[in-house]
Amino acid sequence: MSIHVIFIGGYHATQPQVDLWKTSAQQQRGDVSFDACPYPDTEQASRAGAVNQFGDKRFDALKWRIEDIGADTLFIVGHSSGCAIANELNSRIAGDHSGITLVDLDGFSPLSDQIKGSSVQGWSAEGSGNKGTSLNWSKGNKKFISGSCTQEWSLHFSLVNLAATNKITKANYRDIGYAGCVANLCFLPKKS
């Protein structure tokens, strides 16, 4: 059974940053193939802004990539505002969605018409011992428990980067959110 992951970074995530995530993910899981996309170069973090700025050409390119890969199982993963893009990508894929899992890491939940039969995983983060919750924490989401973070922004990034620490804040997340990236692959099934 082949597994492919498409990861879409959150607001202000650059190609070099998502490449750090991808490299770490590949080192951890040689049995899975990965692609990683940056957030569009825009100041818009809204659902509509993210989707519109990502653009039809990029959505089409990802759909063709998915068809070329032909994986049995596909995970479409978004972080933060990147979830809006992941949700929209899922909605644009034609056909059977039974092999697709849509993963929202502390970001926008999919609208009902975007699910199209896919499985959905919503994730939020909490600090160990109930010390803090992530930026977009939601009671109904699966919980990732971070042993190294207790602050809103660091917990937000712990869902992407296991090396995240409380040094990550709203003021510096653009610079250090992916620092020393160890990709958090909590959404994947255990390696068999």
H runs (alpha helix) in the chain: 15-28, 47-54, 56-69, 82-92, 112-115, 152-158, 173-176
Q: Which of 1, 2, 6 is nearest to 66 (CA)?
A: 6
What is the residue whose two structure tokens read 């059977």? 96
Looking at residue 1, what is its pLDDT?
A: 83
Closest CA to 181 of 6, 14, 11: 14
| Predicted pLDDT at 192 | 76
State mean pLDDT over 131-145.
96
Cβ atoms 80, 124 nearer than 8 A: no
Average pLDDT, the chain: 97
What CATH code would you report for 3-176? 3.40.50
